[in-house]
Amino acid sequence: MNANAWLQRACEEEEQDRTHAALTAVDEALSLSPILAEAWRLKASLLLDMDRTQEALQTLEQATSTLPQDPGCWFERGAALVEEDPATAADCFTRVQQLAPDFPRVTANLGIALLKAGRFEEAVRALEAAVTRSPEEAHLWSHLGEAALAVHRCRQALDSFDRALALTPDDYVILGNRALALCHLSRPEPALACLERALELAPQEARLWAIRGLLMEQAMHPDEALAAFDRSLDLDPRDPDTWSHKAQHLLGRGRTEEAVRCRRQALMLSGRLKVWGLCLLDEANSPVPGTELRCETDLPPEAIAHRYLADLAGQGHQVDQDGLVDGRFRAALWEMSPEELPT
């Protein structure tokens, strides 16, 4: 069989939900003709269906390398990367625009990728074009509102959220974002009414409680504001923005030590402050009970290791020039991930 016949078989196998057989057939097609763009896209789709994400991404990267002028391969690669690597996804969608300016949905996807990558001004421009082409899509209006809010265009954000809610009135994410836009416009009463509706729909959504904290702060209800921030952190203790909001609130109330702790937690969770753990290991590389220490710092690991060893020496332990403690224990230092951090 030739490459097109194998591709046809792969499509038939996929229609019958025989994913492994479809993957075998599409590999046969590509071995005979590596310039079949449809085969590359089908292979990536099959791998994604099988939760083999990394292989799918490698396939799409190979596809764009083999067929650099095919906009479809670039589009599929961008779509696969938009959550994991939005900056690269945006570059892929930009490439699609260069190759085929009228390619379906490329402007919308580019805007979303730019938003996720934190390139907010560019996201606003792309999403403005996207909603002009597809004004009936609520999620595009919502994304435009998010991008506009990020660059402090609060009135444009409010208008965008209103357009989105006219299409999907019970979307708690959009309601929450609309409340935030109203908060930034110093309109706490309508903001609170909007937020209360969002909380009726999603009472366990941590971000909504954080927004409530901001609203209560603006309305001069400090105890309710603090309670809302605490409720948000109970639901999601790993959100750096809420820790920052709580720190700022506590600082305004003169509770400096608590504010500093919250700010440190925000910095650690956002990756702007490194966190190190240290323990002693015995001859079998097993942790010695009771020796684990934790420290938050932006110093290089060599300096932290030196400080830890100096502390141990100050406690009466014998520390030699090779870092051995008491002649038998080895000090092990590692950078801790946000998931391991103490709260």
Which pLDDT tens digit goes with each residue over 194-244? 999 999 999 999 999 999 999 999 999 999 999 999 999 999 999 999 999
The domain made up of 181-272 has a fold known as: 1.25.40
343 has a pLDDT exceeding 60: no
Listed by start position, the domains of the chain span: 181-272, 274-343
Q: What is the pLDDT of residue 181?
A: 97
Four-residue CA torsion sign, 279, 284, 288, 289? positive
Which pLDDT tens digit goes with each residue over 97-145? 999 999 999 999 999 999 999 999 999 999 999 999 999 999 999 999 9
Which strands form 329-335's sheet, in the order they lie side by side? 293-297, 274-281, 329-335, 324-325
CA pair distance 206, 143, nearest whole angstrom: 20
CB atoms within 10 A of CB 262: 23
User: Average model confidence (pLDDT) for the chain?
Assistant: 91
Q: What is the pLDDT of residue 314?
A: 87
By DSSP bridging, strand 274-281 and strand 329-335 are: antiparallel
